[in-house]
Amino acid sequence: MANFGFAHLSVVAPYEAHWREACSAVGAEDLLQDAKMSKTLAEAVAGCTLVIGTGTLVYRKPEQTVVALPELPRPVQDELARGGRIALVFGPEKHGLTREDLSWCQLLVEIPTDPRQPSMNLGQAVAVCLYELASRAVAAQITLPADDPAQGAEESPTAAASGSLDLLAGVIEETMAAAGYSPRSMQAANRHDLRLLLRRLGPSERDTRRILGLFRRILFRLRGGPD
C-alpha cells in the first residue's frame, strides 16, 4: 500500500494480539499505525460509495458484475470523479471472501491468472491490484477534470455510502417482519438478497434517504402508529 501511495487501511476482526504487536513494532509503517480496526466488514465499508470485492471466482457464480483487473481503472476513475469513496476488499489468505462478504460489494474484480494456478498469495494480489490502480486509474483521474470540467458531478450524483444502504436494509427488514412478509426460516436468505439488490440498484445518498423515510413511515403504521 505504501509503495503505491494508498494510505487508508481497515482491518476487519484481526487476531488482536498479533495485530497489536504488528502495529506497535519498531519501524512499522505510519499506514499500519493509522489503520482502523473494525469488528465487521459492514462497519469497515460504511463510509464508502463503491465497494469492490476481490478474489478468484472460478468456484462460484457471482451475482454482481465482474470486471477483469485491467478494466477496473475506468469505473474507479468515474467514481473518484464523482467525489465517491472506494473500498477494495480482500479476504483472508486461506479462503478469500465469503459469499456473505461479497454481498456488501457492488462490483467484483478478478485478476486474470493462469487457470492451472488461479489462487494468489494475498500480499501479491494486493500489490497487483494497487499497481494497476496507481499506474492507471489514479493518474488518469488527476488529469480528468481538465478534459471536461463540467461533466461527472452533474449527470450522476454520488452513490449512497455502504452504511446508508445497511441502514435502509435494516428498516426494510423490520418492515418485512412487521408485515409478516418474511418467515423466520427465510430471514437470512432474504437479508442477503436485499443487500445485493440495494447494491445492484445503486441509489444515490438522497434517494436512499427518501426510500428510508418511506419505509420508516410504513413501519410506524404497521406497528399501529396513528395517521
- 204: helix, strand or coil: strand
Cα 224 to Cα 227: distance, rounded to the nearest angstrom: 9
Enumerate helices (H) and strands (E) in the chain, giving the number of each.
10, 6
Q: Is 132 near its own copies (CB under 8 A)?
A: yes
For position 13 contacting its own copies by CB under 8 A, the verdict is no
The verdict on 76 binding its own copies (CB under 8 A) reads: no
Segment near its own copies (CB under 8 A), from 66-74, 90-98, 170-178, 212-220?
Answer: 66-74
Enumerate the H helices of the chain as residue ranges.
Answer: 16-24, 30-33, 41-44, 73-81, 99-102, 122-132, 139-147, 162-178, 187-201, 205-222
Q: What is the DSSP letter of 161?
A: P
Q: Which of 17, 94, 121, 148 binds its own copies (CB under 8 A)?
A: 121
Q: Is 26 left (phi over 0), alpha (psi -120 to 50) or beta?
A: beta
| 165 lies in the binding site for its own copies (CB under 8 A) | no
For its own copies, the binding residues in 28-47 under the rule CB under 8 A are 29
Contact flag: residue 3 with its own copies (CB under 8 A) = yes
Please pick, from the candidates 5, 83, 92, 145, the single residue that binds its own copies as defined by CB under 8 A: 5
Site for its own copies in 188-227 (CB under 8 A): none
What the block records as the C-alpha cell of 124 is: 501479491
Q: Interface with its own copies includes 112 (CB under 8 A)?
A: yes
Give residues in contact with its own copies (CB under 8 A): 2-5, 29, 68-70, 111-114, 116-121, 123-125, 127-128, 131-132, 134-136
